[in-house]
Amino acid sequence: MSFINTKIIYPLLIILSIKKRSFTALGEQIDRSGETVKRRLISADDSKNISHMIAQYLFKGCKSLIMPVDDTLLQKAYSTVMVGAGKNFDTKTNRCIMSYRLIVGALTNGKIIVPIDFGFIFTKELLSENDPVKTKLDFIKQFLALAKKLFPNTKIKIAADGWAFCIG
């Protein structure tokens, strides 16, 4: 893979990666160092826009798409001062851990999956009184609105794991 378009390389590496998504692992895919990948990092908004263009290209003409939504914890074990990190319940270890809670929405035709948006879910303790609490349902609505904007004439089906049943 060459660096013809440096703006698209990072989002493309993230999408194509089947290994851990660290700078070092992404660099190994293109025979470069992790520092090289890090220097080519672009803003989150630019990455999202590129992902949108990739999705529109790959799923052009699809009559139906699936929008998987999932959340995960990004553990920050030693984060006593990291802004946004809070105590979240980890279902794998059955205990609360210091972490960021990330929620991601993607689109798939059943063969290819492309992320289209993401957000962080913050605990109420981290938000001020004026900040609105954004729930998982709020994020699903946001992701669905974006999917409909990207694919106005396509039927979008939502796929989520067990927590979605609780918010319905």
pLDDT digits (tens, 9 = 90+) for 107-119: 999 999 999 999 8
Q: What is the pTM of this model?
A: 0.75
Q: DSSP characters for 72-138?
A: EEEE-TT-SS-TT-EEEEETTTTEEEEEEEEEEEEEE-SS-EEEEEEEEEPPGGGS-TTSPPPPHHH
Q: Note the pLDDT of residue 115.
A: 92
Q: Note the pLDDT of residue 12.
A: 73
* Residue 3: band (very low, low, confident or very high) from pLDDT cuts 50, 70, 90: very low
Q: What percent of the chain has pLDDT over 70?
A: 81
Domain boundaries, the chain: 1-42, 61-167
pLDDT digits (tens, 9 = 90+) for 61-109: 999 999 999 888 888 777 666 777 778 888 888 888 888 888 899 999 9
What sign results for the dihedral spanned by CA atoms 138, 139, 145, 148?
Answer: negative
Overall average pLDDT of the 116-145 stretch = 80
Which tokens go with 54? 């990739």
